[in-house]
Amino acid sequence: MNARKLAFEVLRRVEEGGAYASRALDAALAGAGARDPREAGLATELVYGTLRRALALDAALAPHSRRPVAALDPPARIALRLGAYQLLVLRTPAHAAVGEAVALVKAVDHGRAAGYVNAVLRALARAPGFPEPPPLATDPAGHVAAAEALPRWLAEEWVAWLGPEEALALARAMNGPAPLCLRAATDRDGLVARLRAAGIDAAPAPRAPEGVRVTGAPVAAVARAAGDLAFQVQDEAAQLVTLFAAGELRGAKARVLDACAAPGGKAFHLAELLAPGSEVVAVELHPRKADALAREAARRGLAGIRVICADAARPVPGLEPGSFDAVLVDAPCAGLGTLRRHPELKLRRAPEDLPRMAALQREIAASAARYAGAGAPVTYSICSLSRVEGPDVVRGLLETGFRRAPPPAGFPADVLTPDGDLLTLPSRHGTDGFFAARLMR
C-alpha cells in the first residue's frame, strides 16, 4: 500500500466511519509495517493537509464540477480532494496526481465516478488555483474562511470575539502542525538533558513547570531516549489547566475532584502535584473509559486516584458535598481549540452544536460544585474556542450565585484575560486552544 492509497483509506475511515484522523492514521501506519519514512511522511501530509484545506479544495474544484463536491459519494469526494491537494499545494505533476486519484476510485468499484474524477481534476490541472479571498477590511469573516479553509460560521465567531487580525492568525495557526509536548512527572531537567544527549531538540516549556517541548522527533524516539524517566504526552495548555485549578495545592495533602476525567491526563497530573496521602477522585461517565483510566493509574503507581463511573451532571454516589479542596470540570465540548490535532472537527461541527454543548457544561459545573468545600475553587475548562461555550457559560454561572476566584499565586499572566480567566491560543502561545474559569460559591 503506497502513501496515497493509505491516505485514501484513512480519509474514508474519518469521513464514513467517524474516526479521528490521528488514531486512524496511527493504526494504518502500524498495520502497514516497516516502510520508507518518506512514504509515511507523505501519507501524513496528505491526510492532515487534505482535511485542513478541505473547504478551500472544494472551492477550487467547484468551477469544474457539475455537482457540489460535498454532494458526491465519499470515495469520489475524497479522491478529488486528494488530487486537488497534490495539484495545488504539493505541486505534484498532473499526470501523477490525476492518475493516482482515478486509480483510487476505480479500486473501490466506482467506475462511473472514476471518469468524473478524471475529468474534474484534468480541468483543475489546466487552471490550477484557489479562489481569491475577499478583502479582510471589507469582509473579514469571508476572508478568514476562504484564506484558511474555515467554515464561515466559525470565522464569523472568531472575528466577532477576537477581531479580524487575531481571528486570521488563529485560523492560520490551526492549519499548522501541533508541537509535541510532554509532562515530566519527576525530573524535567533530567528528561531534557537525556533527550538532547540523544540528538533530540527538546526544551523546557515556557509556562508549565513540568512541560517539555520536542521538535522533529516522534514519541517512540523520545521514549527510547528517556529510558526510565517517566513522562506523559500532554499539551502545555492542558497542563496549565491543572495548575489553574489546583496549583496552590502543590505539595499539600488534599482531596481534588476531577469531574470529567477520561482519558486521565489531568487526574494523573493532579495526583503528581499533591502530597502522599492525598486523594484524586476521577469521575467518568463511560464504563470502558473509566476502566481504562483505573488501569492506567494503577500501571503508573498512582494509588491516590479513585475512579468512579458516574454521571457528573447528577449527584455522584458515595461523595459527600463540601468535601473537596478543589473541583475541576474539564467538560465535554466541541473541541474547536484542537483543530491542529483534529482538523476533521471543523468539517463535523455545526453552529447548533455549541448551545447544546454549553447547556451540558453548565449542568455539569453546577452539579459538581456541590462537592467543593468552603472557599474551594471550582474550575470550568474546555478545549474549545467560542463565546457560547466559554465566556457565556461563565456568565450564566455567575448569574446563579458563583463568583470568580483569583488564580493561584504566580500563575502566568500572559494566558489570563482581563477577567482573570485562562485563554490559550495557538496563534499567541503555541499551545492548544483552552478556556477556563476559576469560580467559587
The pLDDT tens digits for 52-94 are: 999 999 999 999 999 999 999 999 999 999 999 999 999 999 9
128 SS3 class: coil
327 SS3 class: strand
Residue ranges of domains in the chain, CATH in brackets? 3-126 (1.10.940.10), 140-174 (no CATH), 180-233 (3.30.70.1170), 236-440 (3.40.50.150)
Contact (Cβ atoms closer than 8 angstroms) between residue 53 and residue 21: no
Average pLDDT over residues 386-405: 97
CA-to-CA dists, residue 322 to 362, 371, 378, angstroms:
19, 4, 11
Over 90: is that where the pLDDT of 303 sits? yes
Average pLDDT over residues 145-168: 98
Over 90: is that where the pLDDT of 209 sits? yes
pLDDT of residue 38: 87
Average pLDDT over residues 357-380: 97
Over 70: is that where the pLDDT of 313 sits? yes
Contact (Cβ atoms closer than 8 angstroms) between residue 331 and residue 284: no
- The answer, yes or no, to whether the previous bond of 263 is cis (omega within 30 of 0) is yes
Phi, psi of 97 (to 5 degrees): -65, -45
Residues in contact with 142: Cβ distance below 8 Å, sequence separation at least 6, in sequence order: 133, 134, 152, 155
Residues in contact with 289: Cβ distance below 8 Å, sequence separation at least 6, in sequence order: 262, 263
pLDDT of residue 346: 96
Average pLDDT over residues 324-338: 98
Name the packing angle between helices 3-17 and 21-32 (round to 10°).
140
Contact (Cβ atoms closer than 8 angstroms) between residue 328 and residue 269: no
Please tell me which residue, 385 or 113, carries the higher pLDDT value: 385
pLDDT of residue 1: 64
Alpha helices in 285-390 (DSSP H): 287-299, 345-348, 353-368
372 SS3 class: strand
What is the bridge-based pairing of β-strands 211-215 and 180-184? antiparallel
Residues in contact with 333: Cβ distance below 8 Å, sequence separation at least 6, in sequence order: 357, 361, 382, 383, 384, 389
pLDDT of residue 111: 72
* Residue whose C-alpha cell reads 460535498 in the numeric block: 70
Q: What is the percentage of the chain residues whose pLDDT exceeds 70? A: 99
Task: Tell which residue, 348, 355, 406, has the closest CA to residue 377.
Answer: 406
Give the burial class of 18: count Cβ atoms within 10 A of its Cβ; 0-12 exposed, 13-18 middle, 19 or more buried.
exposed
Over 90: is that where the pLDDT of 126 sits? yes
DSSP state of 247: G
pLDDT per residue over 3-39, tens digit each? 999 999 999 999 999 999 999 999 999 888 767 788 8
Average pLDDT over residues 342-348: 97
Residue 279, beta-bridge partner list: 255
pLDDT of residue 110: 65
pLDDT of residue 104: 94
Average pLDDT over residues 176-181: 94
Whether 181 sits among the annotated catalytic residues: the reply is: no
What the block records as the C-alpha cell of 52 is: 485542513
pLDDT of residue 399: 97
E strands in 128-274: 180-184, 201-204, 211-215, 231-233, 255-258
pLDDT of residue 33: 77
Contact (Cβ atoms closer than 8 angstroms) between residue 265 and residue 234: yes
15-29, 34-48, 396-410, 418-432, range with the lowest pLDDT: 34-48
C-alpha 42/C-alpha 29 separation (Å) is 11
Task: Tell which residue, 377, 385, 388, 384, has the closest CA to residue 437.
Answer: 377
Q: How big is the chain by its Cα radius of gyration, in Å?
A: 23
Over 80: is that where the pLDDT of 188 sits? yes
Across the chain, mean pLDDT equals: 96
Please tell me which residue, 433 or 33, carries the higher pLDDT value: 433
Active-site choice (260, 309, 333, 383): 383
- DSSP string covering 72-102: S-HHHHHHHHHHHHHHHTS---HHHHHHHHH
What the block records as the C-alpha cell of 25 is: 492514521
- How far is CA 12 from its chain centroid? 20
Task: Tell which residue, 245, 222, 244, has the closest CA to residue 233.
Answer: 222
Average pLDDT over residues 215-228: 94
pLDDT of residue 37: 84
C-alpha 317/C-alpha 56 separation (Å) is 49
Q: State the greatest distance between any 2 C-alpha atoms of the chain, in Å, as a whole number.
A: 69
pLDDT of residue 36: 78
Residue 380, beta-bridge partner list: 329, 437
